[in-house]
Structure 1
Amino acid sequence: MCMSRHYDVDAVRREFPAVERMVYLDSGFQTPLARPVKAAIELFLREGIETAGPKSVWLDRVERTRAKVARLLGVTADEIAFTKNTSESMNIAANALPLQAGDNVLMIHGDHPNNAYAFLNLQRKGVEIRFIPMTDVVDAESFAPFIDERTRAISMSHVTFHAGHRFDIESIGAMCASEKLYFVVDVMQAIGVVPVDAKAIGASFIGSGSHKGLLVPQGLGLLYWDKSLAELEPAYLAAASLAEIPDDLIARPDKMAPSPAARRFELGNFNLPAVHALGASLDMIEEIGVQNIQNHCFDLGDHLIARLDELGVRLVGPRDRQHRAPHIYVIALPASDWLGHFEENGVRVSPERDGIRVSLGMFNTVTDIDRLIDVVRKRGLGRPSAAA
């Protein structure tokens, strides 16, 4: 039996057939497909085959899923837009900010490249991008010395993909509010595992994809927009983005005001199969509770760190729960030497900058962690212990 103090992990594991075939510790790359998610996609396909597409029904489900996303983030549905992925969300945010030549944006050196490139692309408009050092602890005090009279925004990840840093975005959001800075947050590696309260963060934009903690195949992204910031307008426009969509679909230059809702950032047709999948996955996540998922992953992480300590193997990144993500851990084993060994022994992990990344999901167990440790020891690293 797979025990947890927080929910019935055995029941959850039954919804993920792949985890019975391998030790799956790679949710930071892509989560396996869950049965309810598969069923939602199959429903969409069946309806398309049998009825050629009940579009009004599908669009109603889009809006219901939008409301579920809003509930997850603690916002209203009209503050949520659907995008293709995190990269598109970050680019939408970067280009919506009213930045001028000579303004500067602060970011963290070594953060996800697709967040950085969205803003680095603004250099062609004369916007300066400044990078602060990445340390295990990044908070408001980390950014404060770099702010000057031309600083307009801060953009950063909540959780880093490469070592599991969990930054103090609440203190940074509060500082942005006091300094009147825009605040853009990439929550791709947090959402679905770490609670995200957009209003508590004080974010102008929050962007994410959905194929990690949200359990959906690739190709769907999310964007939260603080609707009080009406000056943040899209860099592009389509009929679906307008406040008034013309009934006759004839474009009129005198009626181009963007929608008062986050729909202003959408470009027409949706990834309908993925939206169906997201509706199902959000039901799963809501039933378990993000806080419970986080606590379960923290417990597994504590066990992983203890077992690594027994082996004398170093953890890359923060160890303290206050500063680490509950579900992302990088082991200081060279990926070029170790990745094949894990694959040969049925353990799915990812190579990262400084080693092997172990990323946990709602379905993982202590047994998975112990299996990982056994595979490390199998290669002659470390010494046997009573916990083995």
Structure 2
Amino acid sequence: MRQHYDISAVRKAFPAAEHVVYLDSGFQTPLSRPVKEAFERFLSEGFETAGPKQVWLNRLEETRAKVADFLGVKPHEIAFTKNTSESMNIAANALPLRAGDKVLMIQGDHPNNAYAFLNLRKKGVEIVFIPMTEVIDAESFRPHIDERTRAISMSHVTFHAGHRFDVESVGELCAQHSLYFVVDVMQGIGVVPIDAKTMKATFIGSGTHKGLLVPQGLGLLYWDATRTELEPAYLAAASLADPPLDFIARPDNMALPATAGRFELGNFNLPAVQALGAAIDLINQIGIEKIQQHCFELGDYLIERLDRLDVGLVGPRDRQHRAPHIYVIALPAADWLDYFTQNGIRVSPERDGIRVSLGMFNTIEDIDRLIEAIRARNAPTTQARTAVLSKLG
């Protein structure tokens, strides 16, 4: 396997990876040293100086610019939220949908994307789910579009089997039919390069505790700033174009800014935002394309080793349709999860098996440890099968 970057140096930035075979970054990535140091700096400044608020806010804007560059957009198109769920709810409620309008989604996609739109049924909006197949692209949605269709919302990468859908073709389809397009990139961001403009997305939502390396409690929202008709469902002083300096609300001062700040409520998660800046610096230092390629090659190796054991893989195998870092092994979670935990291997239970999710710090040795654990447990069964075949022979 080709070495795309100094994996040993990167691994040292994630101490947890030295103590456990960590194959669970699709749940939450271990804390890295740069992220930890950013939190510690924030705590130290708050402890020693009672908080240099303007310095912290300046750093927030620096991080906003880093996020924007990471997605190929402008800083004024980025808002900070609490998590993916809040981002998707902000997006769903900002769309000017009325009774009788129709939104297309994918059956079995992430529930917190689905519920954000299902909640609009109380307004008379119809939510139609198309079947989930191994390949989802524009042609998957095209037959379901009619004169009432107003939007499509979907994930870029699925959490439960590692599908990587062709969001670019779906975005083009939405542009052709003047549909709003909402994309949940939580499972791919930080590992899969994302270009919001190529996606032609109206909104993109994500949290930061997976590929973006920051603990839970911070989210992102990209908003296409040309869509000025999209307004927040709620309002605060921080959401206004001209917040009142005397903190007195006035009915004649409710104009929204021409920025994604219209979707923010203020009182940001400042330590997490600063940590996100450090995390993006780390990702950029390594290179997102290199991280993606590294994970693809580890995934190829994992698939090859599973095939040798005659153990199945849930979801797509072709690189064109799979995420580089999410693989679900067809082993019953109820039977295998505790076994892996007892053997120092961190994975997640998933709908149809055990999810292995890779990070920039994982190595072939991590995959070998996983495979050897599977082989060791399956050995008695294999030996018994061999004995039976021997007797029959």
Which TM-score bucket, shorter chain as reference? Answer: over 0.9
- The correspondence of residues 278-293 of structure 1 with structure 2, limited to 5 A, is 278-293=276-291
Contact 1:12-1:363 at 8 Å conserved across structures? yes
Pick aligned residue for 1:241 from 239, 242, 247: 239
* Aligned twin of 1:263: 261
Pick aligned residue for 2:226 from 217, 225, 228: 228
Q: In the aligned structure 1, how far is the partner of 2:310 from the partner of 2:171? A: 38
- The correspondence of residues 270-309 of structure 1 with structure 2, limited to 5 A, is 270-309=268-307
Instruction: Please state how far the C-alpha of 1:258 moved relative to its aligned partner.
Output: 1.1
- Counterpart amino acid of residue 224 in structure 1: Y
> Over residues 27-76 of structure 1, what are the superposed CA-to-partner deviations in whole Å (9 max), with x where a residue is unaligned?
00000000010000000000000000000000000000000000000000
The DSSP-based 3-state class of the residue aligned with 2:146 is coil
* Aligned twin of 2:318: 320
* Aligned twin of 1:212: 210
Contact 1:41-1:274 at 8 Å conserved across structures? yes
Unaligned runs of 5+ in 1: none
Unaligned runs of 5+ in 2: 384-393
- Counterpart amino acid of residue 28 in structure 1: G
Q: In the aligned structure 2, how far is the partner of 1:348 from the partner of 1:247? A: 51
The DSSP-based 3-state class of the residue aligned with 1:310 is helix
- Counterpart amino acid of residue 32 in structure 2: A
- Counterpart amino acid of residue 183 in structure 1: F
Q: In the aligned structure 1, how far is the partner of 2:176 from the partner of 2:35? A: 42
Instruction: Please state how far the C-alpha of 1:383 moved relative to its aligned partner.
Output: 6.2
Q: In the aligned structure 2, how far is the partner of 1:202 from the partner of 1:367? A: 39
* Aligned twin of 1:252: 250
* Aligned twin of 2:92: 94
Point out 4+ residue stretches in structure 1 off by more than 6 angstroms. Answer: none
Q: In the aligned structure 2, how far is the partner of 1:62 from the partner of 1:43? A: 14
Instruction: Please state how far the C-alpha of 1:318 moved relative to its aligned partner.
Output: 0.2
Instruction: Please state how far the C-alpha of 1:5 moved relative to its aligned partner.
Output: 2.6
- Counterpart amino acid of residue 198 in structure 2: A
Tell me if 1:367 matches 2:365. Answer: yes
* Aligned twin of 1:5: 3
- Counterpart amino acid of residue 327 in structure 1: H
* Aligned twin of 1:120: 118
Contact 1:32-1:215 at 8 Å conserved across structures? yes
Q: In the aligned structure 2, how far is the partner of 1:114 from the partner of 1:158? A: 14
TM-score, structure 1 normalization = 0.97
* Aligned twin of 1:191: 189
Contact 1:86-1:208 at 8 Å conserved across structures? yes
The DSSP-based 3-state class of the residue aligned with 2:4 is coil
* Aligned twin of 2:62: 64
- Counterpart amino acid of residue 355 in structure 2: R
> Over residues 6-30 of structure 1, what are the superposed CA-to-partner deviations in whole Å (9 max), with x where a residue is unaligned?
1111110000000000000000000
The DSSP-based 3-state class of the residue aligned with 1:111 is coil
Pick aligned residue for 1:142 from 134, 140, 143: 140
- Counterpart amino acid of residue 59 in structure 2: R
Contact 1:139-1:169 at 8 Å conserved across structures? yes
> Over residues 239-297 of structure 1, what are the superposed CA-to-partner deviations in whole Å (9 max), with x where a residue is unaligned?
11001111111111011011110000000110011111101100000111111100000
Tell me if 1:46 matches 2:44. Answer: yes
The DSSP-based 3-state class of the residue aligned with 1:222 is strand
> Over residues 204-244 of structure 1, what are the superposed CA-to-partner deviations in whole Å (9 max), with x where a residue is unaligned?
00000000000000000000000000001000001110011
Contact 1:211-1:217 at 8 Å conserved across structures? yes
Q: In the aligned structure 1, how far is the partner of 2:179 from the partner of 2:274? A: 36
* Aligned twin of 2:374: 376
> Over residues 75-105 of structure 1, what are the superposed CA-to-partner deviations in whole Å (9 max), with x where a residue is unaligned?
0000000000000000000000000000010
Seq. identity, %: 75
* Aligned twin of 2:200: 202
